[in-house]
Structure 1
Amino acid sequence: METNVIYIAGPMSGKPDFNRVAFSLAAARLSAQGAIPLNPAMLPGGLSEADYMRIGLAMLQCAQGIYLLDGWQHSAGACTEYALAKKLGLAFHFQAAQVIMKGRPDA
């Protein structure tokens, strides 16, 4: 059985409770579809932004796809994750469009 691991990316900084509700809803939706969600919003508080990025990028490298929450384009961290996902050839899932794309979305 193939595992479908999906990393969730989106804006966190400057959002109420770091946008945890949106991340948790996405994780529940992905789980209901049979995927294994990797949710960086579940990490403990108290780390530096650089530490969160290091952990998030490591999580992303374990995934077969990335789920981009609405507003991801306005998040420096999510844009970095998007760029890495393109380089890795991951499947793209967009919250707004509910579409799936494989590989480079701009190709």
Structure 2
Amino acid sequence: MKDDHSVVWTLHRRDDDQVLAELVVTGGDFPWLDARVQPRDGLAELRPLFAEQLRRLDGDTDVETSESAYEAIRKAVTLRYPEGDEVPEFILHIDGDAAWWRWHDEPFDQEDD
């Protein structure tokens, strides 16, 4: 990825592909990227999912509880690379106008047959 803060990833609602936010990259520390959130219509109703995920990460919760918060987000949204393709796997956090995430080009849950 080029070191250019004009790189924009997009967050979409899974069920109708509505763009919920533009994530303007501001930096990062590999494998994490940091961004400024430019919200669009629809993001406000999903912010409680992100708040709950952060609450569970900051609290003394077990792995299953944290994973259920992650799954709720993944069921609600998709993340798109700057080129427009869907990211197969990601862990995304949003807090106010800040976002940070890591991604993988292959789904985490692929099983070998």
TM-score band by shorter chain is 0.3 to 0.5
**Length-normalised TM-score, structure 1:** 0.34
More helix by share: 1
Look at both structures and tell me which one has the larger radius of gyration over its CA atoms.
2
More strand by share: 2
**Length-normalised TM-score, structure 2:** 0.32
